[in-house]
Amino acid sequence: MALDAALAGVRAGGAAAPGRRRLGPGAAEGAGGRPTLRFYGWARPAVSIGYRQPLAQLDLAACGRLGYAVVRRPSGGGAVLHGNDLTYAVVLPRTRQERSRPLDLYQAVHAAFARGLRRLGLAATATAQAAGRSRPPAHPACFAMLGNADVSLAGFKVVGSAQRRLRGAILLQGSIPLRSEAETYARLLAPTEGPSPADYARGLNAFAAQPLSAAEVRQALIAGLREELDLTFSEESPLPEEEAAARDLALRCFGSHAWTERC
């Protein structure tokens, strides 16, 4: 299978944290039918929560004190810290039939990402699909839940992904932590039962022989996608209509208190 994908650089621009993440859904609605992959960073620390995740699962006062923006994603899942991670978005036209089931898409992309991480000397594996396998117990933090098709290192989830099927496109967006942030998770999440952050919050550099940069991880993941899925890439800047769609969504939807406080 050969796909053309547009790649944008990490930290392409200096927008506030919400603008970086919101380029994902904007691209999904304005990508012009092109399969697209983007990696990007954050201009300020932030915590993103899932589409249906209750805002009460965060300690909003602590987020304010520590300077973390709060962003609600268009995709599901639990809370994710941003600022010391590599964030990505994959957009596919809804008309494509490949990987049509949600789990198929997770499995394909995560297998490629695991392959890329192994190029860096990390013993990453992508959990194989298992018929009838139950979902992990719900938890406010994305990385506390290791489930079907997830990428792990030594039993720790190291790629957090969530999917949304939009009107004309499929959006898969996710985060790969570079640094372990158990203490920050403990301070920003409201008290809850289940695993403590020390039991799940591990970044790639906790397992690497030498410190890894976002650029190194990005290139390894691209190589993994090429090798695992036989993809071809063309590096491009975001189209003007994609940026316009992202700005419009930020103004009329994602930038509003009504959106953030919807749950």
In this structure, the strands spanning 234-235 and 36-40 are unpaired
Sequence ranges of the domains in the chain: 6-260
pLDDT in tens, 18-31: 333 333 444 444 44
Q: Which CATH number fits domain 6-260: 3.30.420.250, 3.30.2020.10, 3.30.930.10, 3.40.50.1000?
A: 3.30.930.10
Nearest partner of 213 among 93, 104, 120, judged by Cα:
120
pLDDT in tens, 164-219: 988 778 889 999 999 999 999 999 999 888 899 999 999 999 999 999 999 999 99
pLDDT along the chain (263 residues), means of 10: 28 32 40 75 92 95 96 92 94 65 87 97 83 60 90 95 86 95 96 90 96 96 93 81 82 81 84
- CA-CA distance, 180 to 12, in Å (whole number)? 24
pTM for the structure as a whole: 0.83
Which residues participate in catalysis according to the annotation? 142
